[in-house]
Structures are given as structure tokens and as C-alpha cells.
Structure 1
Amino acid sequence: LNELDHLLQELNATQFNITDEILAQFPSSKKDERDKIKEKALSSSSAKPSATSATMELDKLMASLSDFRVQSTPTSPVSPVVTESQQPAVPSSHQPAVPQQLSNVPSQQPTSGGSLDSMLGLLQSDLSRQGVQTSSKGNCSACQKPVVGQVVTALGKVWHPEHFVCTHCQEEIGSRNFFERDGQPFCEKDYHNLFSPRCHYCNGPILDKVVTALDKTWHPDHFFCAQCGAFFGPEGFHEKDGKAFCRKDYFDMFAPKCGGCTRAILENYISALNSLWHPECFVCRECFTPFINGSFFDHDGQPYCEAHYHERRGSLCSGCQKPITGRCITAMGKKFHPEHFVCAFCLKQLNKGTFKEQNDKPYCHGCFVKLFS
């Protein structure tokens, strides 16, 4: 670093000499340019630069000289110079001496551009001998000026480090990651905000993994059941009205319900009595016996076996406890097959329709007299 300080001091001294020689060739109207360059050189040498700032100062110096070379083309008029003809010392005896005609010969002013190029070349050679690399690495893609010191190479171009900035926020990218879009660099934050897909749940940019479902994009952590909030497993999800549901909630909310247990029907079902039933739920509502050959009896919208159907309707024979499908005798608030309505003592059929009742039992007239008179 000390050697670089010493080198910069020599460089500033060399710059003063070169600029003085250059500016001496131009009219005094360029004095302001000379003062500006000297002030810039003095300000650059006032503080001790680091290794990085030294190369940046060298870039600025070379850029200043390049700007000066472009701006300092002389425009002074060419004045004619009158020269007298020279008579020969010994005139020829055969030819008379003819006086020379006066001519306007433009003066040969030194070319500032060529002189500046030459001086810059000498400066670069001197710095190269002292170990300072001064060869241009190309023109900066942003400012179109030569890049001499530190250089950023990106997108197939070269840039001054301070000119390699985000196209959107104009902040220097430096050593950070960047993204390319249409040949322009963007910092990571602006690229994602401008061009990355958006999560349908939080509307934030998706930076890494993405879930695509229901014609939308989601953060993996934001794609879950709309009802219970659980993440979807290997079974996937079910869609309803543009929302995703887990299997359980989907069937609980939207699947048809069993007429027996009222739970969702997921697979096989039986359709009967204007309802759907799990096969194991379609049984007699009284004894829960499955129906043989699918035959059942309907009472108030519920399935029953034959016995419990007649029991519910009150059509069971009180004598044999079997359904009454034909003729029926109603007595004592009960129903009987005709052949089963008999005296409780002698078991004779009470077919004449006359009987005596005792303790909720029917008796013929003779047995009633014998037993209770």
C-alpha cells in the first residue's frame, strides 16, 4: 500500500507536467479546464487511498484525460505567412533570374490530439514499468468511457463497478446476486417483485419452490385445506368453487350423506326410500337385521323387516305374533288371526264373536262361569 501511495504521488506529478504541456498549446481560454484538472488531482492525492480506492482514482484520472482529449480540439484560425523568395547564389547564365511569387502557407500547428495520445501512451508505459496495469479493458457499457482499474464483466459487457446498477432501483449491485431480463441487470429484490409469479394466498413473490394448482401459483406453505388448514398428503386434494379441500372435509361438506348414519358416502352405496345408504347401514331400523334378497318394508321413510313393520303398524297377531295379511279380528285393543282368537282356558275358537274378558284374556261363556262365578 505504501508503494501504491508513492506511485500515485509520482502519477500526480507526472499528470501536472503532462497537463501543463498540453494546455500550453491552447489559448488562455482553456485555463479553467487546467485548473479543474489540477484541483481534481490535488483532491485525489489529499487522502491516503486504499488499494481499491487507488484503482478507482486511476480510473477517474484516465477518464478525465480522455474527456479532455475529446473536448480540447483547437479552433484557432490559420494565419497566412508571407515568405520571400531566395535568390540563388550563382544565377545561371542561360536562364534569367525570375522572382518567386508570394504564397500563403498555413502554419503547422502541433496536433493536440496526437500529442495527447503520445503523452498518454508515455504515461501508460511509465506506469506499466512500475507495475501498475493501465491498459483499457474496454469501454463501460453505461458511460462509454474506458475501464482501466477495477472492472465488472457481466452480460457479455464490461462496466465500471459504480455503473453496474439495478435497472429498476439504480442501486449498485456490487458482489450481490443479480438477474437478467431483456439484457438488463436487476437486483434480486426488484427482479422478484417485478417478474416472479405471485402466491394466490399472500400475493407475495414466489422466490423458490412453487405449487401450481387450480390455474394459480402458491407458496408450498400456503397451499392447504380451505376448511381445516391441513396440508395435503399423498391423496391430494378436492376442488369445490375454486377452493382446495382435503378428502375428509370435502366429503363431509359436499358428499351425499347416508340415510342411516348421516355420515358422508365415499364409495359404494344403496339408493332406497329417496335416500342413499351405506350398505352396512341399510338394515331394519328396529332389529338391525340385513334384509334378505333386498326385501324390506317402508314405514315413515325408514326400512323395517316384516315383523317389525307390522309391529309398528299394529298388524301382528296377538296370538301367534305373526303378521296378519288376510282376515283379522280386532278385540281387546288387539288384532288376531281368526283361528288364533280362542278361549284362554279351553282353547276353543271364539268364532261367534261373543266372549268374556278377564285379566286381558278372552274366555268362552262356559269357562268364564266355571272359573269366575
Structure 2
Amino acid sequence: MRSYHILMIYLFSYAKLDCKRQLHLLLRSVNGASGTSAKNLLLGASLWREEGAYLHLEIGPRSYSTSTMTERFDCYYCRDNLHGKKYVMKDEKHVCTKCFDKLCANTCAECRRPIGADAKELNHKNRHWHEDCFRCAKCYKPLANEPFSARDDGKIMCGTCGSREDGNRCQACYKVVMPGTQNVEYKNKVWHEECFTCFECKQPIRSQSFLNKGDDIFCGPCHEKKFAKKCFHCKQPITSGGISYQDQPWHSECFVCRTCRKGLAGTRFTSHEEHVYCVDCYKTSVAKQCNGCKNPITGFGHGTNVVNYEGHSWHEYCFNCKKCSLSLANKRFVINGEDIYCPDCAKKL
């Protein structure tokens, strides 16, 4: 205990002396002590502080002394004095540039080398680059002062390459369709305007109408030539307004009465020997005359069945016995001149 009191008095006596001299004197006193007592003295001294004059001693590999008179400023790792030297603040600790480069520097995401204290560093989403390493992965353009995009695979790209990589691709040439360029969209697919061509003639369709057959696109003329049905009458393609009769396609303007040329689409008509006629022309020009009522047999209206016998024709409802008016359709009858009779009436003639 005597040595301890002597040391404390000794320290206080030299408290106003130069800091380095105090430390030197202190270490000399400690060196004079032995064993455990010397260690205890140092520990006691490290906790000692007096108002007005300060002396603070830290023991261990990071020990340094500070004073309000001449304050020390050391690297957190190597303990080198940093007065007049470059240093870096890392987690609120002062670090010399050498230790920073070796122990604290971030690793460049491109070249995998440390980004030193003297290098310019760029970071994005917890990744770091040297300024010279921050380039487009496609065209290698420096991007330190340029707009860029970060892809899901980690690649950094300039605006132009990013648009090409992420943009819609043309269904014909598979190249990117750049925003703002002329293009054609059809069924959720996109083409360059010059790539949207007819499958048959290979000419760009541009603003004209087109038709598709499966996945192939055709201009109007080529589609008509290749796929349109041919009119039964004129043998030309039917593009619109066609009608069907007896499983044959017709232009509506071709489906007309043979005699008067009246259009028959949507009206009553009949046919004779592969020609079609309106009702009026059929009655006057084609239909047979009933041998009973002397009117044309058209097949329209009441009673469409016809009875033919030896070059004569009757409406079914006109084929009756001349005397008793009994219907003779599907029955035995007797011809007398141009008249017909049932067997019973024929016996009475």
C-alpha cells in the first residue's frame, strides 16, 4: 500500500508536466515495482482522474494516452498516430487508409477487388463498384453519370441496351421492337412495321386490310386468290356478300333470274335444268300448264304435288273425276279425250 500511495502522489505531483514525461515517469515507477503489485498499480493508475489535470492510461494492445493538452489520434486497428495523415471513418472509428484497404474496404461486384480509400465507389442495392468498373454489361459504356437499369440476374445495363433486352421482340425477325418506333400489334403479338408482311407475296401490309389463316397473315388479294370460294356462275373469288344454293357458292349479284335478271337473294325462286328463275318468269316461261285448271304448275302455294300422264300434267288437287269430282290421285282412272273419270263414272258414259 505504501508503494501505491507514493505512486498516486507522484502522479499528482507531475500532473501539470508534459504528458509524455508523465507517462515516462509513471512507467519508470511501475518498472520499479515487482510482480502483482506492479500490475495492480497500473490498473489503479488507468482508472485515476483528477479535476483540473488529467491522466488516463489504458492497458492492452489498443492502449494509448490522451490529454487535454496534447490529444492523441490513433488508427483503430494498427494504433498509428493519424495526426496530419489521411484516415477514414468506419463505424464511428478512425481507420488509416492502409488498414481500411486491407480490413474494411468493400469488394467490387465486377472485378472482385477491394475498393480502396482513395478510389471512387458507387453502390446500388448493397452492391459496390469501382467507378471504372460500373459499366453496361452489353456495350461496356461507363455508367457513373448515366441512367441505368439493374436486371434480375444482377447485370447493369445502360438505357438503350436495357430497352433492347427487355422490350417486346418482333415475331418475324426476333429483334427488339424499340419504344417509339413504328410497329404492328395483333393478337397480343408485335412486329416491326416492315416485318409485318403477307405470307404469300412477302410485301409489307402496313395500313391495308389483311386476313389470317392459322398463324399466317395474308393481304386481301392474296387471301382471295388462295382461299376464297369461287362463284358457281362466274368462277371468280367471293370476298363478301356470297350466298349458297345446293351447296354451291354464288356472288349475290350473280344469283339472278335467268329470264329477267332480277336478283333472287332473299326472294322466292325455283330452278329448272340448272338455271334459277323468279316466280313470275317461271310461271310464264318454264312451268307446265295444268291440264285441269289450265294454270301454271309452279310448285308454290296450295298443293305442290304434280300428276304426270302421257305428256299431260295436273296439279294434284286438279286430278279429279270429270263427273263426280272424286280425287283420283293414287287411284285407278280412265282417260276419255282430255278428261279423266273414275272407273264407276266411266262405265256410265
- TM-score calculated relative to the size of structure 2: 0.42
Higher helix share: 1
- TM-score calculated relative to the size of structure 1: 0.40
Higher strand share: 2
